[in-house]
Amino acid sequence: MSTFHYENDRLMVENLPVEEIVAKEGSPLYIYSREALVERISSYREAFSAHPTLVAYAMKANGNLAILSLLGQEGAGIDVVSGGELFRARKAGIPGNKIVFAGVGKTEEEIAYALKEGILMFNVESQAELDHISAVAVRMGTKAPVALRVNPDVDPKTHPYISTGMKKSKFGIPVDVAVAEYRRASTLPGIRIVGIHQHIGSQLTEIAPFRDAFERLLAFHGELRKAGIKVTHLDLGGGLGIRYRNEAPPSPKDLADLVLPRVGDLGVTLVLEPGRSIVGNAGILVTRVLYRKQTAVKTFFIGDAGMNDLLRPSLYGAHHDLLPVLRSVRPEVKGDLVGPICETGDFLATDREMPDFAAGDLIAVMSAGAYGFSMASNYNARPRPAEVLVDGNTYRVIRDRESFEDLVRGERI
C-alpha cells in the first residue's frame, strides 16, 4: 500500500486521514511520512551494503530537525552547504565526522566552525577557496580534510537551473586542471587530501549521465594514483530523481549496480549525497481553496498556499500532482491553482485538468517533501506553515506554524 492512498475516498498519510490532521493543525500544512523517509534511506543503505559507504543526506532539500534526527538514527550523515546547516546538523545529533561541507561560498567563519566541529571533509569548489581553507586551518593549528570537487563536464539532462556539472557551471574545478590542483593542494600547509568529489545535478531521471560522470571519476582517480596522491573517499554526489508526473528515475540499486563492481579494489569509502530522492515523495503540502474565480478565459482556484510556501512551480515551472483530500464525483475543468501572493507568477499549477473545486475544499500538492519548506519565505508578510510528521496512526508537530509576532521578531523601530 502506498504511503499516500485513499480509503473510502479520504486521502490518507499512512493510517491517518489528511483532513483530520488539517482540522487540528490548520492550512497550509506540510505533512511528512516517517515510513516513507525510513524506506528511502534504507533503500540506499541496503543497495550499498556490500561496500563501506556513507549516505550523507543533502540537507538543503529539507532541513527540519526531526527529519535530520530520524535519518541520523538510520545511520545517515549530512551534506551541508552553510554554517547554518552545519549548526542544524549538529543540533540534530549528527556527529561531526559524518558531515560533509560543500558549497561555493564558504566564509572564514564557516570554515573555522567546521574545523572546530571535526567534519569529515570540505568539498572544495575553487582554487581560491582551497587557499582560504588552508590559511584558516594554519591559523587554528590544524589541517583541513578536503576533497576537490572535480567538474566532469557531463550533461545531466535535467533543468538548467539544477545542472551543476558542465563547464559553464559555477561549481567545481575543471577536470583538465584538477590533477595540477591536487598536486598544489598536497603542498599547502593547512590541507590534508582525503577524497575526490563530483556532483553533476539534481532530479536526474536517466542512468547514462551517472555512468558518464562515474567513468570520468574513475579515470581521474587513476591519474591521481599515478601522480602519487592517495585518497580515502570517493564522493559521488547525489541527484537521483523522483517521480513528479510520469518519470521513471533510476533506483539506488541501479546506481549501486553501476558503481560497486568498479570500486571493490580501490580501498576507498564511498560517499553519497541524496536529498530529493529521500524526502521528495515523503511529503505533501495541503492547501485550502479560498475562492473559485471564473473569468472570460480562465478558471482560477485561489488557495491559501502560494509561491512563498512552495516556490518550485514558479521558479522552475515544476509539476506537482494535485489530489483532492476528499474524493468525490465532480466534473473536471482546466484551471490554475494559484495562491494569495501579489505576483502573477504565484501559482502551484497552470492550465491543469483538475476537479472543479469549491471554496473550502482541501487539495494535496504531492511530492512536496523536497525543496518545499526549505525554500519557503515570509514574502507578503505571510507566516510560514506548520510541519507535521506522521507515524502510523499518530502524528506530531515538528515545526510550529509561525505567528504574526514571529514575523517581526528581532526587528527594531
Q: Catalytic residue numbers?
A: 342
Q: Under 8 Å CB-to-CB from 14, ≥6 apart: which residues?
A: 3, 33, 34, 35, 390, 391, 392, 393
For 174-187, give one letter per residue: b (16+ CB within 10 A) or e. Answer: ebeebbebbeebee
Cα–Cα distance for residue pair 309/374, rounded to 1 Å: 9
Burial-class residue 40 by CB neighbours within 10 Å (0-12, 13-18, 19+).
buried
Q: Among candidates 48, 93, 21, which has minimal Cα distance to 256?
A: 48
CA dist 195 → 82, 154, 179, 224 (Å)? 20, 20, 13, 11
Contact 145, 118 (CB under 8 A): no
Contact 11, 364 (CB under 8 A): yes
Contact 347, 314 (CB under 8 A): yes
| Set of cell numbers at residue 168 | 559553464
